[in-house]
Amino acid sequence: MSWVGRRLPRLEDPALLTGQGRFVADRAEGALAMAFVRSPLAAGTLTEIEVPPIEAPDSFVFTAADLAGVGAIEAILNRPDYKRVPQPILARNRVVFAGQPVAIALARSRAAAEDLAEQVFADIEPDEPILTFADALADGARAVHPEAPGNVLVEGQLRGEGVDAAFEGAAAIVDVELRSERQSAMPLEARGGVAAFDAGSGRVTLYASVQMPHMLRTGLADVLGIPESDLRVVAPDVGGGFGQKMSLFPEYVALVWAARHLKRNVAWIEDRRENFLGASHARDQRFRAKAAFDSDGRILALDADLLSNVGAFSCYPVTCGVEPLMAFAELPGPYRIAHYAVRSRGVTTNTAMMAPYRGVSRPMLTLTMEQLMDRAARQLGLDPLDIRRRNLICEFPHTSPTGLVHDAGSYVEAMDAAARVADLEDFRQRQTRARAAGRYLGVGVSVFSERSGYGTPAFAARMMEIVPGYETVDCEMDPSGRVTLAIGASPHGQGLKTALAQLAADRLGVTPEDVRVVSGDTDATPYGWGTFASRSMVIAGGASQMASDKVADKLRIAAAQVLECAPDDIELGDGLAKVQGANRTMRIAEIARALHHKSHLFADLTAGLKEQAFYDPAGTFSNACHIAEVEVEPATGGVRVDRFIVVEDAGRLINPLIADGQIAGGVAQGIANALYEELVYDEHGTLLTTSLADYAVPTAFEIPPIDIHHMETISPATVTKAKGLGEGGTIGAPAAVIGAINDALTPFAVAINTMPATPDRVWQALRDARDKAA
């Protein structure tokens, strides 16, 4: 029986359940504590930093002047339209967002470091902050960075032939202007690192709560001007990332610098307030789009103007192109668009840096396409599912207007399956009855693709100076028959270790408990790209399977020699090498021991059982349909999600328990995007939402049960037949929820165009409609 496909409880869990997990803060014992002095202002000239006289032992304050020789973080995109804006480790001469690190304070406890930090004063001559698209794009707007007059850091433009003609001949033209306010990935464990200095070697081991440990090592070494071999980066247990822990942040550079400078162990454990102020934010996009339809509801052309606020800097390594260029390339989503025009800009402002957050642009582009479909359906008098059915891609492979190749999927089928579960006919009856009783129910449909598991070709196409994508896996069976997979991916809650153990167990004939997966340690794993972009199951999984197969092949050859048969006759399973069709077996552990300790007996084989495999796929598209049912209360503007259905097609599921967990958690973040979470700056550029009391992460009360179903389109695009699904929940849910609200509000002729749809926004939209009608 196969381990793949089973709902196996995770191997990671016992430690985490008993308080024996090891997160970064759990390694801070004995280290000096570091705190940051952060700019209180959004923009200005830094004239002086007043540092108090330091009396206490083991207390230090350092500013940019002390970090001479340390470079800046520079994310590079080799596009002519891209403007480089170097990010200093500590602010020098000027500040560009409230929360930017200005100085570091170190002391024996975090409390004492904070005491010291609050005595450091940054004298800043304030500039008028540039905060919004309107501020940044106004004629003659002050440049946030002198390197980037006009405040556009990256711009993609495309105008396919025939777009204008298609609009001229259209039966219906629908346009939308949609916004997502600014949000935080808000991992429950904030960022943090412990830099341990080894006096003997001069090496620093940085334990850090990150998603890309090898990339962090490279980035740190480059900025500090040291060889990578002087650094070891370890991502221990990581309390969630969701993209926020991908980038190289100046805080980590300062931390490693301090450990090397003081020759001491130094810990920076970020608190929640800092995490809101200084870590990356996401979303803050405004999408305008119009689409031309023929009278049957077929989309003829799409024309979009997309703005993404990228904040004060360009995130390393993926750059500030990540949101605008993803929007540029993927807006058409799962729909056949013959003629496509788009202008997508990344706009810099005096706000915290934007970086990937689960979903990256796709929550907004899915919302955009689904609202276009819903509104076109209404305008043309079509059923919302019918109009989608007429436009969804159904022949594979499908090449998008920007050249993306969709492998086999089930776009129409997944939608139809979700609609059956939702029983839309019954819903419409309930909706009618409820309206008669003064209650407003709505249903929203969201069909989307999730580009996942893409290797270097996809990243190279973005013109990134650093091209991520491949993975290398070492698979070794030790003399006791236990297996170690050393991977370059860096899971942080996904359960990847269990899933990979299931994969390897099937190939090697052992149990998942026999497979230990080592990740996140640059001294112990092959150079790799960490965990992000729904890639690890596909790419690290593929490499793990291929490396395991190599070990299995060697086991078969050795077993065949002992059992006197052909290697192809050997079947590995239940810890045994069995000769097919005969009653001869040998324990796999025995073969492993023999290959290590009696290798001289195996004339044609090298000693040991260690193999490496490399995988760099082009990528694959998962697809899904979400259907949300909501109730809107006009009196309060409150929205409650009553029901949420997901039909997901991510190919072959390695561990459905884990897959469902990823989907449910993603949907919760998508609902949060649609209804709850919003980072708010005031007109001075001061962040007003610096606590979890103000930044409304939903609780168990707000998130409904998620009803998850699967389809399984097997695509040849990946060696495991699995597709990525880590982001889909977050991508699709906002469009379903907003669509449902707008459906509920049909009697009022109101459309919600801004996320999150807070009670105030819903109430205001209703009031405005009433005022207009009056």
Partner 1 sequence: MSDRHDITLRVNGATHHVNVEPRYSLADTLRDACGLTGTHLGCEHGVCGACTVLIDGRATRSCLVFAVQVEGSEIETVEGLAEPDGTLHPLQQAFWEHHGLQCGFCTPGFLMLALGALRENPDMDDEELRDLIASNLCRCTGYQNILTAVRAAADMMRAKAQPAPNP
Partner 2 sequence: MKPAAFAYLKPENLAEALQFVADNADDGKLLAGGQSLVPAMNFRLARPETLIDISGLEALDGVNDRPEALSIGALTRHATFHKPVSDGALGRLLVKVVGHIAHYPIRQRGTFGGSLCHADPAAEWCLVATALDATMRLESSGDARDVPAEAFFRGSFTTALEPNEILTRITIPKLPDATGTGFVEFARRKGDFALAMALTTLHLEGNTIRSARVGLGGVADRALRMTEIEAALVGKPATPETFVTAGQMARDQISPRGDIHGSAEYRRDLGGALLERALAEAAEEARGAVST
Interacting positions 467-506 with partner 2 (CB under 8 A): none
Show the tokens assigned to 702.
Answer: 């707000």
> DSSP secondary-structure letter at 92?
B
In the block, residue with structure tokens 């070697």: 201
What is the distance of C-alpha 289 from the center of its chain? 25
> In this chain, which of 57, 437, 603, 701 binds partner 2, going by CB under 8 A?
701
> In this chain, which of 70, 106, 107, 706 binds partner 1, going by CB under 8 A?
706
**Distance in Å, CB of 771 to partner 1, minimum:** 36
Angle formed at CA 724 by CA 695 and CA 279, multiple of 5 degrees: 30
Q: Closest by alpha carbon to 603, among 560, 642, 641, 637?
A: 560
637 touches, from partner 2, partner 1, none (C-beta below 5 to 8 Å by class) = partner 2
CA dist 477 to 16, 206, 290, 686, Å? 26, 29, 57, 55
Segment interacting with partner 1 (CB under 8 A) among 8-16, 120-128, 200-208, 406-414: 8-16
| Closer Cβ to partner 2, 313 or 681, answer by number | 681
Q: Does residue 759 interact with partner 2 by CB under 8 A?
A: yes
668 touches, from partner 1, partner 2, none (C-beta below 5 to 8 Å by class) = partner 1
CA dist 293 to 176, 390, 592, Å? 14, 11, 64
Segment interacting with partner 1 (CB under 8 A) among 38-46, 148-156, 697-705, 760-768: 697-705
CA dist 3 to 373, 507, 653, 657, Å? 42, 10, 11, 13
Segment interacting with partner 1 (CB under 8 A) among 20-28, 77-85, 506-514, 607-615: 20-28
What is the distance of C-alpha 162 from the center of its chain? 35
Q: Does residue 115 interact with partner 2 by CB under 8 A?
A: yes
> In this chain, which of 66, 177, 271, 305 binds partner 2, going by CB under 8 A?
271
- Would you say 658 and 671 are in contact if contact means Cβ atoms under 8 Å apart? no
Is there a cis peptide before residue 86, judged by omega within 30 degrees of 0?
no
Segment interacting with partner 1 (CB under 8 A) among 156-164, 400-408, 441-449, 664-672: 664-672
The letter for the amino acid at 638 is G
* Parallel, antiparallel or unpaired: strands 299-311 and 231-234: unpaired
Strands (E), 654-740: 706-711
488 touches, from partner 1, partner 2, none (C-beta below 5 to 8 Å by class) = none
14 touches, from partner 2, partner 1, none (C-beta below 5 to 8 Å by class) = partner 1
Q: Does residue 661 interact with partner 1 by CB under 8 A?
A: yes
- Would you say 390 and 307 are in contact if contact means Cβ atoms under 8 Å apart? no
Q: Does residue 705 interact with partner 1 by CB under 8 A?
A: yes
> In this chain, which of 23, 396, 527, 748 binds partner 1, going by CB under 8 A?
23
Q: Does residue 660 interact with partner 1 by CB under 8 A?
A: yes
CB atoms within 10 A of CB 49: 19
**Distance in Å, CB of 659 to partner 1, minimum:** 10
Burial of 193-210, coded b for 16+ CB within 10 Å and e otherwise, reads bbbbbeeeeebbbbbbbb
575 touches, from partner 1, partner 2, none (C-beta below 5 to 8 Å by class) = none
**Distance in Å, CB of 741 to partner 2, minimum:** 16
Q: Does residue 297 interact with partner 1 by CB under 8 A?
A: no
692 touches, from partner 2, partner 1, none (C-beta below 5 to 8 Å by class) = partner 1
> In this chain, which of 18, 93, 583, 699 binds partner 2, going by CB under 8 A?
699
| Closer Cβ to partner 1, 53 or 140, answer by number | 53
Segment interacting with partner 1 (CB under 8 A) among 118-126, 180-188, 334-342, 570-578: 180-188
- Would you say 67 and 257 are in contact if contact means Cβ atoms under 8 Å apart? yes
Interacting positions 713-742 with partner 1 (CB under 8 A): 729
| Closer Cβ to partner 1, 223 or 708, answer by number | 708
703 touches, from partner 1, partner 2, none (C-beta below 5 to 8 Å by class) = partner 1
Show the tokens assigned to 415.
Answer: 């939608």
205 touches, from partner 1, partner 2, none (C-beta below 5 to 8 Å by class) = none
| Closer Cβ to partner 2, 693 or 774, answer by number | 693
Segment interacting with partner 2 (CB under 8 A) among 114-122, 333-341, 657-665, 722-730: 114-122
| Closer Cβ to partner 1, 398 or 492, answer by number | 492
**Distance in Å, CB of 238 to partner 1, minimum:** 7
- Would you say 352 and 311 are in contact if contact means Cβ atoms under 8 Å apart? yes
Q: Does residue 692 interact with partner 1 by CB under 8 A?
A: yes
> In this chain, which of 435, 479, 764, 769 binds partner 2, going by CB under 8 A?
764
| Closer Cβ to partner 1, 131 or 653, answer by number | 653
Q: Does residue 19 interact with partner 1 by CB under 8 A?
A: yes
Burial of 73-108, coded b for 16+ CB within 10 Å and e otherwise, reads bbbebebeebbebebbbbbeebbbbbbbbbbbbbbe
Show the tokens assigned to 277.
Answer: 């102020």
> In this chain, which of 492, 497, 556, 721 binds partner 1, going by CB under 8 A?
492
CA dist 459 to 242, 544, 730, Å? 19, 22, 22
**Distance in Å, CB of 631 to partner 2, minimum:** 14
Q: Does residue 677 interact with partner 1 by CB under 8 A?
A: no
> In this chain, which of 229, 691, 768, 770 binds partner 2, going by CB under 8 A?
691
25 touches, from partner 1, partner 2, none (C-beta below 5 to 8 Å by class) = partner 1
Show the tokens assigned to 218.
Answer: 């490279």
SS3 label, residue 7? coil
> In this chain, which of 71, 162, 661, 698 binds partner 2, going by CB under 8 A?
698
> In this chain, which of 186, 208, 306, 650 binds partner 1, going by CB under 8 A?
186
> Cα–Cα distance between 629 and 739 in angstroms, integer?
9
Q: Does residue 109 interact with partner 2 by CB under 8 A?
A: yes
Interacting positions 588-647 with partner 2 (CB under 8 A): 635-638
Q: Does residue 52 interact with partner 2 by CB under 8 A?
A: no
Strands (E), 534-654: 570-573, 576-579, 585-587, 610-615, 620-633, 638-649
Q: Which helix (H) or strand (E) holds 661?
A: helix 656-675
> Cα–Cα distance between 475 and 471 in angstroms, integer?
13
Q: Beta partners for 526?
A: none
| Closer Cβ to partner 1, 186 or 547, answer by number | 186
- Would you say 540 and 475 are in contact if contact means Cβ atoms under 8 Å apart? no
> DSSP secondary-structure letter at 608?
S
> Cα–Cα distance between 180 and 191 in angstroms, integer?
25
40's torsion region: left (phi>0), alpha (psi -120 to 50) or beta?
Answer: alpha
CB atoms within 10 A of CB 594: 18
> Cα–Cα distance between 505 and 78 in angstroms, integer?
43
Is there a cis peptide before residue 397, judged by omega within 30 degrees of 0?
yes
Show the tokens assigned to 486.
Answer: 């050393």
**Distance in Å, CB of 724 to partner 1, minimum:** 16
Q: Does residue 697 interact with partner 1 by CB under 8 A?
A: yes
| End-to-end Cα, the chain, rounded Å | 69
**Distance in Å, CB of 636 to partner 2, minimum:** 5
Interacting positions 313-332 with partner 2 (CB under 8 A): none
Q: Does residue 16 interact with partner 1 by CB under 8 A?
A: yes
Binding residues for partner 1, rule: CB under 8 A, are 9-10, 12-23, 25-26, 29, 111, 186-190, 237-240, 242, 271-272, 492-495, 657-658, 660-661, 664-669, 691-693, 697, 699-703, 705-706, 729
Binding residues for partner 2, rule: CB under 8 A, are 109-111, 114-115, 118, 271-273, 635-638, 676, 678, 680, 688-689, 691, 693-694, 696, 698-702, 758-760, 763-764, 767
